[in-house]
Amino acid sequence: MRRQVMAASLMTVVIVAGAAGVASPAAADTTDAASTWDMPDVKGAVLQTAVNDVKSAADPRELQFVFDDTKGNRDVMNLTNWTVCWQYPKAEATVSPKVKKISFGVKRLNDSNCYKQG
């Protein structure tokens, strides 16, 4: 009789542990969905505003920003002197928590367009 009680108890523990293991991935999926964020449309915005908008949308995630001068090899020092020409991820994209790098193609405010002229 004692062995039957022990066997029944052990089986209950195994079933409960298995159910918890099955429930965990579903809970993780919910957490992942809740931690995605939508990339704002910042094309044409002053770079400082674009960075602020993306940080706000992604909060509290830490992001790395990459700036590509579309007209040459100029260093981006003062973000208020630059305009966003393109962005990655694209506008309104749902961004995964795995994304840590945001890229902007930029031009100086006084450049006539976003592209190099031959």
Q: pTM score, two decimals?
A: 0.70
The full length of the chain comes to 118
Together in a domain, 30 and 44: no
pLDDT for res 11:
54
Query: Is it the case that residue 98 has pLDDT exceeding 60?
Result: yes
Would you say residue 16 lies in a domain? yes
Residue bearing tokens 């029944």: 8
Would you say residue 71 lies in a domain? yes
Sign of CA dihedral 24, 27, 29, 35: negative
pLDDT for res 2:
62
pLDDT for res 116:
78
Residue 105 has which token pair?
Answer: 């193609």
Q: Pairing state of beta strands 64-69 and 94-95?
A: unpaired
Number of domains in the chain: 2
Q: Pairing state of beta strands 82-88 and 101-108?
A: antiparallel
Would you say residue 91 lies in a domain? yes
In this predicted model, what pLDDT tens digit does every residue of 27-78 receive, in sequence order? 444 445 568 999 999 999 999 999 999 999 999 999 999 999 999 999 999 9
3 state SS of 113: coil
In this predicted model, what pLDDT tens digit does every residue of 17-30 receive, in sequence order? 455 554 545 544 44
- Pairwise CA distance, residues 25 & 106, whole Å: 41
> For residue 55, what are the domain limits?
37-108
- Pairwise CA distance, residues 52 & 37, whole Å: 15
Nearest to 50 by CA among 40, 42, 58, 61: 42
- Pairwise CA distance, residues 61 & 55, whole Å: 8
Would you say residue 115 lies in a domain? no
Together in a domain, 1 and 47: no
